[in-house]
Structures are given as C-alpha cells and as structure tokens.
Amino acid sequence: MGYEGLSKLFYKSPEQYQAAYQRRFAGDATVHFAFDVHQKPAFLVITPELLSLIDQIHVLDKQLTWISRRLPKIAKQQYSTWAVIEEIRLTNEIEGVHSTRREIQLLVEDHLPVKNEQRLVGFVKKYRQLMNRQSIPLRTCEDLRRLYDELCLPDVIADAADHAPDGLLFRKDSVCIYSESQKEIHKGLYPESAILSAMTKALDMLHDSQLPVLLRIALFHYCFAYIHPFYDGNGRMDRFISSYYLAWNFNPLLGYHLSYTIKKELSTYYKLFKQTNDPRNCGDLTLFAEGFLRIIRTSSESLNASLLKRLEKMTFFRNQLLKRFPNDRHFRVLHILMLNTLFGYRGLTLPELAAACGMDEPLTAVLLQTLATQTPLVVLYREGEHTMYEVNLERLAEIP
C-alpha cells in the first residue's frame, strides 16, 4: 500500500489520525525542517517509494546520456533548442500567458534586436543562460529578487503594472490564489517579514547537501509555491528554478522538459499542492516529494523514448541515403538535412547548411540546386526573408 496523506486519513480513520501523525513525525526515517506549513513544522518521511524513485531517475539519466552521446552535434543542438522553446511556451501556458513558438524561436536564436521592454526577452535570456551552462546565484532572497527582475518582471509589468513587487524584496500586501470557480484555495504568507524568513529557510533546504538533490528540488518547489512571494510570476519562477537545478545535476535535456511534462499532468500537479497545503496534512511533505519525483521520472522516460526512437530512425534514414547517394558531397548535404529534419523544429538556411556541412555557400547552393531538380527529397519553404531547406522523410523512407 502506498503512502497515505494525513488529510485523507483524517476523514478515513479519525481515531488513527493523531497517532499516525505522531508516529510519522517522530519516526527514525523522518527528516525535519525549520519551515512551517500552517503553523506546523514541516517534515519528510524517507519512504521506500522515494528511494526507488531517486534510483530510477538516476538510471534513466544514465540512459539519456548514453543516447545523447550517440547523436551528431547538429541533432543535439536542434533537439535541445526545440525543447527549450517548448519549455518556455508551456511554462507560460500553464499560467495562462500566451506565447507562440515563432516569437520564442526568434529570441532563442537571437534573430531579433533585443529591447529591454520587449516581451519575453528576460525569460528567454535566462533559458539561454541555462543552455550555455552559465551559473545563476540562488543563495539568498536578494538572489531570488534579481532572478525575478530579469526573468518575469518586464512581462508582469506589461500585463499589470500594479503586480510588480512593492516590498523590500517581495510583496508587502497579502495575496490569495483562487480556483476557476473563484474559491480561495491558498493564501500566500504575509507580511513580508514572514516571506523573507520562510524563503531564507527554504533556500537553506535547497542547499542542504545532506539531502539528495532530487529531494531538495522537490521540497523547494513546494515551499516556493506555498510562500508565494510575488503577486504574479510565481509559477514560472518556481519551474525555472527546478529546471535550472535539474539541468545542472542531470542531463541538461531533463531540465528543458519539466514544464512539458507538468502541462501533460497538470491536474496531478495541482492535486499535489492541494493535498500538501491542507492544514490537516500537518506539514507532511512526503506525498508532494513522491508525486513531484514521479513527474521527473515520467519526464525522463518520455525523453528517453523520444530520443531512442529518433536514434533508430536516424540509422534507418542514413542507410536509405547510402543506397542512392554514395558517401560524397550530395550525401553530406542530404545527411545534414535529414538529421536536422528528424531532430529539429525548423529547416536550415543556406548559410547554416553550408556551415554544418563544412562547405562554402556557393558550392552548397549548387549541390542543393542539383538535388532539387533530380530528387523529390529536398523540400524548401519561405520563413520571413529566408529560404529554409528540409528533407521529406516520408519519401526518403520509400527509397527501394
């Protein structure tokens, strides 16, 4: 039988409820924290399920790294960029903020002139920093505020100027979270002194090296949402921080895939918060930690399956090309286009294709022209001012 939440036990077996709480709180496998949830000291029971989840995620991460190392450079680059674009789009969508793949793509690829007031600029900058393995300080409340100012503040002000932080670092007024039916489901900590105190404790938890990093990520994710330090942008901040620590401690792709998985399991994600926030749960963070690690496991499983499938197709399509095009310059152009089409999110421009093939642009253009007239494999289309090139994978599969 799985770990049962105390809030559920309160209704199911009231006579056992208090005894269960005392047993869990005082157990040998319990970790206590200097963090209160509804005036109850927070704690975590190290269950067999938690240990198993941690082990499974590490095994999956090794498999993901094994697959990644077998991918050509352009395949990894294109897949990573696609994952980041989707991560940004979906973390915004979870909060009801609409953003298109195209506008995110142009910012991720640095194809637009950057203006400080431009929508999504700060958000994309931080994810590009994540892709480039640049360290982001997250030790103090001041660090969190600096991150918020760069990540969320411009977009928050653009949507509602009065939602900007008005306290020393965070908000100075109270805030409530409501359901779609306008029922209050959570009230963030108040006043700001309580926010500062709780956030300092949550950051201590995040950096407690005596706990496995996966547990620290899960626990901080809950604590940040519980504190709710800003009027707006809390969810995006919280998910970015989790993505940052996942990308630094595991295969980076895992950090670029969190919001994708959360969006698919959104009802489960919200249910975890609801169960843990219930005052009758008495500060027990175990269910949230287990549930959040399951989301990370699911994310890693889907990444492994997606990349393994593409890896198998890559080998198949390469063999298809070799049947018709010996290992020469025509093959090189088509091979690069095939990899980009299979792993990417858009076609390649002539300069990009030439650089990836290690050839000059005039020669690449001649080869493309020859291929376009001799075979139906090359597909071209317009994207803004650019002509983009891809390979028709369905036709490639039909080569006898």
235 annotated as a binding-site residue: yes
Q: What percent of the chain has pLDDT over 90?
A: 75
Residue 337 has pLDDT above 80, yes or no: yes
Report the pLDDT value the prediction gives residue 118, as an integer from 0 to 100: 60
Bridge-based pairing state of the strands 386-391 and 378-383: antiparallel
Report the pLDDT value the prediction gives residue 116, as an integer from 0 to 100: 44
pLDDT category at 87 given cuts 50, 70, 90 is: very high
Compute, in degrees rounded to 10, the torsion defined by CA atoms 385, 387, 393, 399.
170
More confident residue, 322 or 14: 322
Please report, in angstroms and rounded to a whole number, the separation of the first and last CA atoms in the chain: 54
Report the pLDDT value the prediction gives residue 318, as an integer from 0 to 100: 95
pLDDT category at 373 given cuts 50, 70, 90 is: confident
Report the pLDDT value the prediction gives residue 76, as an integer from 0 to 100: 93
Residue 57 CA to residue 63 CA, distance in Å, equals: 10
Average pLDDT over residues 54-73: 96
Mean pLDDT score of the chain, rounded to an integer? Answer: 92
Helix/strand/coil for 13: coil
270 annotated as a binding-site residue: yes
Residue 208 CA to residue 217 CA, distance in Å, equals: 11
Burial class for 155, CB neighbours closer than 10 Å (0-12, 13-18, 19+): buried
Report the pLDDT value the prediction gives residue 2, as an integer from 0 to 100: 83
Q: Where in the chain is CATH 1.10.10.10?
A: 327-397
Residue 283 has pLDDT above 90, yes or no: yes
Catalytic residues: 228
Query: Which architecture characterizes domain 327-397 according to CATH?
Result: Orthogonal Bundle (1.10)
Q: Which two tokens stand for residue 118?
A: 């431009």
Residue 113 has pLDDT above 70, yes or no: no
Report the pLDDT value the prediction gives residue 109, as an integer from 0 to 100: 81
CA nearest neighbour of 257 among 220, 300, 309, 224? 300
- Per the CB < 8 A criterion, the answer to whether 306 and 79 are in contact is no
Q: Which two tokens stand for residue 249?
A: 């401690």
340 annotated as a binding-site residue: no
284 annotated as a binding-site residue: no
Q: pLDDT by residue (tens digit) across 287-319?
A: 999 999 999 999 999 999 999 999 999 999 999
Average pLDDT over residues 246-263: 95
Q: Where in the chain is CATH 1.10.3290.10?
A: 6-305
Report the pLDDT value the prediction gives residue 110, as an integer from 0 to 100: 72
233 annotated as a binding-site residue: yes
Q: Which two tokens stand for residue 3?
A: 């770990």
CA nearest neighbour of 79 among 342, 270, 309? 342
CA nearest neighbour of 24 among 290, 286, 240? 286
Residue 158 has pLDDT above 90, yes or no: no
Residue 20 has pLDDT above 80, yes or no: yes
Residue 119 has pLDDT above 80, yes or no: no
Report the pLDDT value the prediction gives residue 115, as an integer from 0 to 100: 52
188 annotated as a binding-site residue: no
More confident residue, 179 or 285: 285
Q: What is the H or E stretch that residue 365 is in?
A: helix 361-374
237 annotated as a binding-site residue: yes
Q: pLDDT by residue (tens digit) across 217-253?
A: 999 999 999 999 999 999 999 999 999 999 999 999 9
Report the pLDDT value the prediction gives residue 117, as an integer from 0 to 100: 45
What CATH code is assigned to 6-305? 1.10.3290.10
What pTM does this model have?
A: 0.93
Report the pLDDT value the prediction gives residue 181, as an integer from 0 to 100: 63
More confident residue, 179 or 175: 175
More confident residue, 103 or 165: 165
